Copies of this chain bind each other. A is one copy, B any other.
Amino acid sequence: MADFSGTISGTAQPIAGIRLGTVAAGVRKPGRDDLVLVELAPGTRCAALFTRNAFCAAPVTVARESLAACDSLPRYLLINTGNANAGTGARGLADARACSEAVAAACDVHASTVLPFSTGVIGEHLPVSVITRAIPAARAALSAEGWAAAARGIMTTDTRPKLFSASVTCEGQVFHVTGMAKGAGMLRPDMATMLAYIATDAAVSQPLLQQILQNATDASFHRISVDGDTSTNDACVLMATGAAGNPELDSLDSPQAQALAEAVRDVCVSLAQGLVRDGEGASKFVSITVREGAYSSECLDVAFTIAHSPLVKTALFASDPNWGRLLAAIGRAGLPALDVNAVSLRLNGVLIAENGCRAASYTEEQGAAAMAAADIAIDIALARGDAEETVWTSDFSYDYVRINAEYRT
């Protein structure tokens, strides 16, 4: 147990060294905030994770290249909604670079220090002049207090912003962490662009920053999405301004680094759960815990097989304790030599199934009462070992179909 105390808050806390400016550029629809400029103080270190989709979007390619070229010391992030600049070929790359160059010119920095991010419709060319024309206004709007507006500005089909802060004190040192994310189509991992931006005032070496981001992502965004199974534009960025003035952290062995890592993870978990709660058409928030597995990987296989089953998800929408569909999903998760008679299943604490069939104590009334809640905890014990994993998902509703059938119209 690390020797520190921390809190998490839904109220955004400014991070010294970070300013954000949000404007309505009119990328796709007029009068809607759709362009966010993030300014990083000189010397701010940056770690990032990008989609592994072979059809990655132009801004992903450019941001990845620029991050390498600027030695992970970017000065600006430019994020637009309304257009993903994906499936746009060579012109898409030129368009993304043109946006970075426009920021560089307006702010008097090198273009390689400007990272572009886009989210929205795939396959249409980016309206570059619409974006570049709005950059001066975005710059004029830069403010350390700009997090709330920015969290709204990166939304697409999201119905509410996701924005969390944490503070942590360790050995007399205080660190602040604030993060925002967007992405409302988390019912399956290929559903949407997920963008997440997390900043801290800690001073952290770049390798440690990347490790902290990777660990936090594994415990959060990768628990709502199969690893590698990402959209064309997914990106997750962690910025460390160093404004806290601590001696630079360079190893997870130090208590302060552990405290910071936990605060970053807590913010990421809150953001990830926020994405699920705001999932397209979601009416339920579902935690799936798989215990007593031989390995973590098999716990995740079972959990994600359940999380991705349309049959389970429609039953959740109907508040139907259809444990037969849950057992069928466990059965096809590919676990070698699974003893189905050893598996037990609980819904919100009610023992539903054991010994391969319905629990003797179980009544439909109990199941119906458990499923009536908006938050559902599915707990599965495999009786094969000590591994345990939890993933989060939502249900599958009429609104999900409506939102995704009508998205372009």
Contact = CB atoms under 8 A, between A and B. Distances in A.
A119 interface: no
A340 B310 contact: no
B332 A190 contact: yes
A121 interface: yes
A29 to B, nearest CB: 18
A160 interface: no
A340 B122 CA distance: 15
A215 interface: no
Contacts of A331: 53-56, 232
Interface in A379-409: 396-398, 400-402, 404-409
A355 interface: yes
- In this complex, the interface size class of chain A, counting residues with CB under 8 Å from chain B, is 35 or more
A230 interface: yes
A136 interface: no
Given A89-B341, A400-B401, A406-B318, A190 B55 contact: no
A355 to B, nearest CB: 5
Contacts of A404: 310-311, 314-315, 318
B405 A317 contact: yes
B320 A405 contact: yes
Contacts of A56: 331
Contacts of A53: 328, 331-332
Given A310-B187, A328-B53, A330-B55, A87 B323 contact: yes
A327 B398 contact: no
A245 interface: no
A190 B87 contact: no
Contacts of A406: 318
**This chain: how many copies in the complex?**
2
A329 B190 contact: yes
B401 A356 contact: no
A67 interface: no
Contacts of A54: 330-332, 335, 338, 340
A324 B122 contact: yes
Contacts of A188: 309-311
A256 B145 CA distance: 80
B332 A230 contact: yes
A91 B341 CA distance: 13
A89 B320 CA distance: 21
A122 B328 contact: yes
A191 interface: yes
A86 B185 CA distance: 33
A283 to B, nearest CB: 11
Interface in A101-124: 121-123
B317 A401 contact: yes
Given A122-B325, A123-B358, A314-B401, 14 more contacts: A54-B330, A54-B335, A55-B328, A87-B327, A87-B353, A122-B324, A122-B327, A123-B324, A187-B310, A190-B328, A232-B327, A232-B328, A310-B404, A401-B401
The 8 closest A-B pairs by CB, nearest first: A122-B324, A55-B331, A89-B357, A314-B404, A123-B324, A318-B405, A54-B331, A53-B331
8 contacts: A54-B335, A87-B323, A123-B322, A190-B311, A232-B331, A318-B409, A320-B409, A400-B401
